[in-house]
Amino acid sequence: MSIRLVTGGVRSGKSRFAEQLCASLQDEVIYLATSRVLDAEMEERVAKHRAERPANWKLIEEPIQLAEAIHEASPSALLLVECISAWVANLLFAEKLDEEMTNEMRNHFLKKVAQKAEELLQSLEGREAVLVTSEAGLGGVAMHPVSRLFQDALGEVNQRLAQEAEEVWLVISGVPWRVKG
């Protein structure tokens, strides 16, 4: 398994860098999109990303069942997973948690996300992959309990993925910095 993790803040240039990295590594690329298109602005962003990608890249859209989608993808292709942070957000929204959640509900979700991250890593065994995520630790602590839960879950997932990754890249203002590998 060869995982490259690309992280950075929102609009940092991490997606562009990840796409350039993939294009330099292999011709057969599967772009596994986890975002849900819920409004016109997001639709425009997705269309822009599609137009910028090479035409021969295959697209798979899967907001929740990431490991299952990877199992079904061509094993010879390089996987570009865009992005882990949207996937964690989708898992959180599926739980329908609100500010009234109990500590038990919070802990249950954190365990569930940790298990999903392990399933993701298992699905990547023997594969080449570039994973894009947002860096949860670059902003302040969220004021809303559900937002804090998202930060906690994403931070834990990112740390686990970085632990297994051969390379970790941090993109700041369009400048990629190799921090591991």
**What is the C-alpha separation between 84 and 59, in angstroms, rounded?**
16
179 is in an annotated binding site: no
14 is in an annotated binding site: yes
180 is in an annotated binding site: no
Verify cis geometry, omega within 30 degrees of 0, for the bond prior to 83.
Answer: yes
Residue of 49, 71, 108, 144 marked active site = 49
As a three-state string, the secondary structure of 65-123 is CHHHHHHHCCCCCEEEEECHHHHHHHHHHHHCCCCCCCHHHHHHHHHHHHHHHHHHHHH
24 is in an annotated binding site: no
Active site annotation includes 71: no
118 is in an annotated binding site: no
160 is in an annotated binding site: no
Whether the Cβ atoms of residue 168 and residue 42 lie closer than 8 Å to each other: no
52 is in an annotated binding site: yes
15 is in an annotated binding site: yes
50 is in an annotated binding site: yes
**Torsion, Cα of 110, 43, 39, 101 (10° steps):** 0
At 57, give phi and psi (nearest 5°). Answer: -75, 135
Question: Which residues are annotated binding-site positions?
Answer: 8-15, 33-35, 50-53, 61, 82
Residue positions annotated with a catalytic role:
49
Question: Which residues are annotated binding-site positions for GTP?
Answer: 8-15, 33-35, 50-53, 61, 82
